[in-house]
Structures are given as structure tokens and as C-alpha cells.
Structure 1
Amino acid sequence: MQPHQRFPIEDASQVGEARRAALQLASGLGFDAEASGRLALIVTELGTNLHRHVGPGRQAALLMAAVDGEVEVLSLDQGPGMDVHRCLQDGYSTGGTAGTGLGAVRRMAARFEAFSAPGRGCVMAVRAAATVATAAQRGWTLPQAGFDIAGVNLAAPGEHISGDGWTVRHLDDHWLVVVADGLGHGPDAAEASDRMMALLHQTPAPAASPAAVLERAHDPMRMTRGAAVTLVRLDLATPALTVSGAGNVSGRLISGVVDRSLMVQHGTLGVQVRRLQDMHYEWPAHAVLVLHSDGIQTRWKLDDVPGLLQAGPAVIAGWILRDHLRGRDDATVVVAVPRRPASSQTQ
């Protein structure tokens, strides 16, 4: 997965910068003229909303990346919050405008999710597709079995390449989700995490055991500087997962009543590890899985934001990153939830 570009929105000129970057992404993905126009309007509307209603000093920013052939745009802020349901209705405005912008964003998007809390700001996650046909289909024809998984990946300040990486491999009866944090940051760290991503997908028939997959990857990873890695097997038939890892990529299962940390080994894959072990966990009802690199603070909680765990995984990942980014290293947050019918999450 490519890292997200971050565009702070402190003044109106930065909205144009974000729009131009979005169109560059669209061009690389083969967007047609109509789809590019939709994306430009989406970014302009989201950026303008941040400038008008949030203002400076409140972490207002747009994050953008190419994801699955689409452009993903996340709008983050720590402003006063808003009533998302009312703001999506045409004609509703708190700033003297026509009040059609956010509703138009939802109509133009291939997928739209949003969550806001009073005094805690808002996170919106929008996907723009390359053609009208894919926009109509995306997110509405997914099979019922499986998981919704989304992630946010930012490079360290001053870097254009992230040393973190994450990916998902889909198999018949289970999915494998990995997050890797290459030692240090920059191109050499990215080489290590990219190597782990490739090894996961190149394995002819991955074992049921995440520990066995990582043991097999350890020697090939010696060609790199090494990485902290956590690999999770998500079972499709039963609400359960198995995890193995080396290093400080953290994992938690969180619901309204459960907050359980996932145990991994010390060490660095490709450098030195103890014998890797599998740890098995039941998946509690209504729980979400969160994996993150050490670019995110470890002591965070979500129980002070009622309703957030019912939002989409991209929104949850964006919320965690917005509030708990250390700001001095690469940072990745990946969130998985048992698949729900695709819909707009409006809390």
C-alpha cells in the first residue's frame, strides 16, 4: 500500500495544492476526465470546509493515497465537530452557504464514511473511482463473508517514502494481514517492509500458522536491514484470529467492553528473533482489530468517544492517527472489522 500524502489546511491556498496533488494521483491511475472532475470537486469541498469551519491550530488536514485503483481522501480535524446527518442534507448550512457541498461529496464518491463528536472534531473517508461505472459498483457488490480492512500510512517528517508497509492476502478460508516497520526510515527501511509484503504474497501456499510464515521469511529478510513485523490470520468461518510477530508493531482487539493487547515476540525479522509462536484469540462481538507501528503512541483509548467503533475502518484508523501520531517517525494504523453491509457511516 502506498503511503498517504498529508496536506495541512491552514489557509485557502493549501486547498489548491491538495487538489493539484489529487489530480496527479488520478492521472497515474487512468481516471477519465469526468472522474477527475469529480475528484477535484470532492477535494475542493472537503478542503474548503476545513478552512471555513475548523481554522488553524486544530490539526485540519487532508490525506490522500492511491488505494485499489481509486483515490482515497481523508479529511481530519480536531475542531468543534458537526452533526454529520444534518450536514449531508442539501440546504443545511452553518456558514451561510447553499449547504449542498457535503451531500454532493457523498453522491460523487464511490464510498463515503464519516464520524464526528462534539468538541472532538471529525474524520471523513472518501473514495473516488476512475469511471462512473466503477463508482456505481465499488463497495456495493462485496460478498458477505470477510472483513472490511483499511489503513493509513504516513512517512516520517521530511521523507517522501515510508519505511512502514502493510498488506492483505486473501485465501479461501482465511485472510492474512501484515504490518511491517523497517528499521529506521527512508528508502532502506522501505526496502525491508516492501520485501516482507512481497514474501507474503509470493509464498505458494501459506501455512495456517503465522509463525511458520514469518519463520520462512526470516532468512530472505536478512538481505535487508530488517523489520518489526506482526502477521495476523483472520479466520472466515469462526470469529477468531491467530497472531505472531517480532518487534514493536502493536495489535489490539477493542469493543465497548473489551480491550485486549495481542502478544508478540521481541526481536527483528531478518536480524534476530527467538522461536516465533502463534497466539490464538477469540474475536469478541462488535470488536475491531487495530494494528499499528511505533509511529503511533501506545497508550491510547477509544472508550471516551461513544459510537466511534461503529464507524468504518478508514475513519477509525484516521481518528487514531490524528490524535496519537508521534510525529517523528513513519506511522501506520490498520483497522479490520467483520464485514458489514456497505453504507455511509454517519454518526
Structure 2
Amino acid sequence: MGQVIRSHDDTWTRAEDASAIGALRRSAVVLAERRGFDEEDAGRVAVAVSEAASNLVKHAVEGTMLIRPHPEMASAIEVVAADRGPGMRDISRALRDGYSTAGTLGIGLGGIARMASGYEVHSVPGRGTVLGMYFTARDAPRPSGRLSGVRRPIGEEVACGDAFAAVDTGAVVTVMLCDGLGHGSLAAHASQEAVRLFLERPDLAPAGALERIHLGLGQTRGGAVAVARIDRTAATVSFAGLGNVSAWIAHQDGRQGMISVPGIAGHQARTLRQYEYAAPPHSVVVLHSDGLSDRWDITSYPGLVTRAPSVIAATLLRDAGTRRDDACVVTVKPGT
């Protein structure tokens, strides 16, 4: 079948006062221990997470942190820290040990870089910074860094009505995103049922997978669904969408939209259609629910398309996400 990737129950924790630092460190260490990290490896996680959380508390605006199993490799840990400013002008300088500028997140990035198994940073002065890092046990395999997705429920809800899943064979990755109608547990049930139906037959072409999901969601609320198949060898994307899920091929000079037909999977659908698009290796495929505005402009984020999928996804969620709906964004690198 290939590598299966699916959405986790993401919990974004606000880092607004000193008490958050210890709570985030403990959460990361517990996750590391559950994944078999020894004392030294768990210590690396603790130091890096403490440093990143401390930076958010002391210097960030609206800082949040996500700690979870890595989407591509459950034995690894992924940490994403995001804030809304002040940002950094020179990330390479900020990564040097001992560099410090009051009021920025440059403090401690050199130490974080040494502790993490992998990391990436994107920052725009005046708009904020997103730091993505992951940790593996020593000598363990590392995730490919080709696909990621993040979710956030509406308001203070626990259940998120949006979900995604993907199957990556190396040369081809097929990804499905479902925005369950409404929000709460019933919307979550619809989106998880869409995940189940998709993963039972990931070999189907996008239009076939979409039809299968549409026919299978009749006993649920239904939702908007999109399926994209990225062929990394051919540098193409095959896409089929039903309802209000946005799909894009983004590159440093702009983006191209992919077409969905109106309807609600499980209840209303016109003739389902599949479309073919070019996906250059330097681009990024983005799928997101209508919990994100589609007005984001990739050209206003210099260098973002070259960053890790987790950093791209978290940046879009931070700036285009709305608290008035569940939100989910998935990013895939077509390049091998």
C-alpha cells in the first residue's frame, strides 16, 4: 500500500506565560518516552522545547506550540512553534550561538538547531515566525519531509470536523481531505468515515476515490471532499473535488487553483470530474478546508515554498485560518 499518513488530534497550546514552558516540556518528554527515546534523547527534546517555548513566552505575540507524533513517522516527534511577530530579518545570523536581539525569537535558535534531528524556520519581519523541528532516537531513520498537515477545531471545541489522510509510495502520493459539514462530533464522524473509505481503496484514481466516499457518506452529515494524486516522476497532479475545499499548486511566483464541483459528499453531487495539472518539483500542492480564507498570497512569504511542509502548513493556518470554523491544511512537495 505504501506509507500511510493521517491526521492526528492536534492540540495547539498557547505560550503566553511562564507556566506554559514547563507544561510544554513535560508534554514533549512524555511523548518521547512513549516512543522509546532514552534519557539522553528525551533530554534533547526537553531542552529544545523549553528553549522554543521560552522564546514564545518572552518575545512572541500570540505564540502557540504543537507537539505530536510526526505525521510521516510515528516513532519521531514533531514540534511546531508559531507566532505573529516581530519576526527576524536574518535567520542565518540568528542561528549563531550567542546571537541575541531583544524582542525577537533569534535568542536560542542555535541551541535548538543542535538539539533537534531536523529543523526549519520561516520568518517575515512584522508578521511573525514559524519554527518546525523534529526529533528521532539516535541512529533511527528520519522522516522524508515531503508531506504534512495541521488541524485546529473551531473556538474551544475539542473535536475537529476536518480530517485528512495520504498514502505515499515514493513516486506517487495520494491525499484526501474532508471538511465534515458543520462542526463538532458529528462533523468529525463524517470526516473520519471519509478517511476510512479512502484508505480502504487508495489505489483508486481521484475521481473514483471521490465517488466511493460520496456513496459511503450517506448515513453521515457528509462534507466537502478533495482527492489529489501527485505523480513525482511525471510532475503532475490528478485532482477531483466536491464542495468547498480549496486546492492549489503554489510556487514562488504565485499559485494555480484546481477545480472542485459544487455539492456535498454523501448527499448532493453533480457529475464528478477529474482534472490534470502540471506540478513542477519546486512547487507545493496545498489543500485546505474553508476554515482557511483562500485569499492568502504566497508571494508575500519570500522563500516559504522552499521550507518544510509543516512550516508551510502552519504559516497558512496562522495567517489564513479563522476561529469561526474548523480548519485543516495539507501541504505536499511534488519533488522527489
- Pair 1:112-2:119 in alignment: yes
Partner of 2:3 in structure 1? Answer: none
Counterpart-to-counterpart distance in 2, 1:29 and 1:198: 25
Q: Give yes or no for contact 2:280–2:335 (8 Å, CA) kept in 1.
A: no
Partner of 2:18 in structure 1? Answer: 12
1:53: how far off?
Answer: 2.2
1:161: how far off?
Answer: 2.1
Counterpart-to-counterpart distance in 2, 1:122 and 1:181: 27
Partner of 1:64 in structure 2? Answer: 67
Q: Give yes or no for contact 1:59–1:322 (8 Å, CA) kept in 2.
A: no
Given the alignment, which residue of 88, 92, 95 partners 1:85? 92
Q: Are residues 232 and 16 of structure 1, via their aligned partners in 2, closer, same or farther at CA, if it must alter by over 3 Å? A: same
TM-score by length of 2: 0.89
Given the alignment, which residue of 287, 290, 300 partners 2:286? 290
- Pair 1:46-2:52 in alignment: yes
Q: Give yes or no for contact 1:89–1:100 (8 Å, CA) kept in 2.
A: no
User: Identity of paired residues, percent?
Assistant: 38
Given the alignment, which residue of 246, 249, 254 partners 1:253? 249
Partner of 1:264 in structure 2? Answer: 260
SS of equivalent residue, structure 2 residue 333: strand
Partner of 1:202 in structure 2? Answer: 200
1:62 alignment partner AA: M
Given the alignment, which residue of 172, 175, 178 partners 2:173? 175
SS of equivalent residue, structure 1 residue 72: strand
1:316 alignment partner AA: I
1:274-295: CA deviations, max 9, x gaps?
Answer: 2211011112463221111111
How do residues 322-337 of structure 1 correspond to structure 2 at under 5 angstroms? 322-337=318-333
Partner of 1:344 in structure 2? Answer: none
Partner of 1:151 in structure 2? Answer: 149
SS of equivalent residue, structure 1 residue 260: strand
Mind listing any 5+ residue stretches in structure 1 that lack a counterpart? 341-347
1:232: how far off?
Answer: 0.2
SS of equivalent residue, structure 2 residue 28: helix
Q: Give yes or no for contact 2:254–2:297 (8 Å, CA) kept in 1.
A: no
- Pair 1:184-2:182 in alignment: yes
Counterpart-to-counterpart distance in 2, 1:28 and 1:270: 38
Counterpart-to-counterpart distance in 1, 2:35 and 2:244: 34
SS of equivalent residue, structure 2 residue 139: helix
Q: Give yes or no for contact 1:228–1:249 (8 Å, CA) kept in 2.
A: yes
1:173: how far off?
Answer: 5.0
2:296 alignment partner AA: W
SS of equivalent residue, structure 1 residue 303: helix
Counterpart-to-counterpart distance in 2, 1:339 and 1:173: 9
Partner of 2:142 in structure 1? Answer: 138
Q: Give yes or no for contact 1:4–1:152 (8 Å, CA) kept in 2.
A: yes
Q: Give yes or no for contact 2:282–2:335 (8 Å, CA) kept in 1.
A: no
Q: Give yes or no for contact 2:181–2:187 (8 Å, CA) kept in 1.
A: yes
- Pair 1:22-2:28 in alignment: yes
Q: Are residues 231 and 315 of structure 1, via their aligned partners in 2, closer, same or farther at CA, if it must alter by over 3 Å? A: same
- Give the 4+ runs in structure 1 shifted more than 6 A: none
Q: Give yes or no for contact 1:178–1:232 (8 Å, CA) kept in 2.
A: yes
Q: Are residues 9 and 252 of structure 1, via their aligned partners in 2, closer, same or farther at CA, if it must alter by over 3 Å? A: same
Q: Are residues 321 and 240 of structure 1, via their aligned partners in 2, closer, same or farther at CA, if it must alter by over 3 Å? A: same
How do residues 234-245 of structure 1 correspond to structure 2 at under 5 angstroms? 234-245=230-241
Task: Name the stretch that deviates more: 238-247 or 298-307.
Answer: 298-307
Task: Name the stretch that deviates more: 120-129 or 251-260.
Answer: 251-260
1:6-42: CA deviations, max 9, x gaps?
Answer: 1112221222222233334334444433333222222
Counterpart-to-counterpart distance in 2, 1:109 and 1:327: 31
Q: Give yes or no for contact 2:248–2:285 (8 Å, CA) kept in 1.
A: yes
Counterpart-to-counterpart distance in 2, 1:216 and 1:336: 23
TM-score by length of 1: 0.86
Q: Give yes or no for contact 2:174–2:230 (8 Å, CA) kept in 1.
A: yes
- Pair 1:162-2:160 in alignment: yes
1:169-220: CA deviations, max 9, x gaps?
Answer: 12475221111111122222222111111222212x623x311111122222
Q: Give yes or no for contact 1:19–1:44 (8 Å, CA) kept in 2.
A: yes
Size of the alignment, in residue pairs? Answer: 324
Given the alignment, which residue of 215, 222, 229 partners 1:219? 215
Q: Are residues 329 and 21 of structure 1, via their aligned partners in 2, closer, same or farther at CA, if it must alter by over 3 Å? A: farther
Counterpart-to-counterpart distance in 1, 2:322 and 2:164: 19
1:125 alignment partner AA: G
Q: Give yes or no for contact 2:291–2:324 (8 Å, CA) kept in 1.
A: yes
Counterpart-to-counterpart distance in 1, 2:244 and 2:308: 25
1:5: how far off?
Answer: 1.1
Q: Give yes or no for contact 1:3–1:152 (8 Å, CA) kept in 2.
A: no
1:81-125: CA deviations, max 9, x gaps?
Answer: 1222112112222259xx983222222222211111222221110
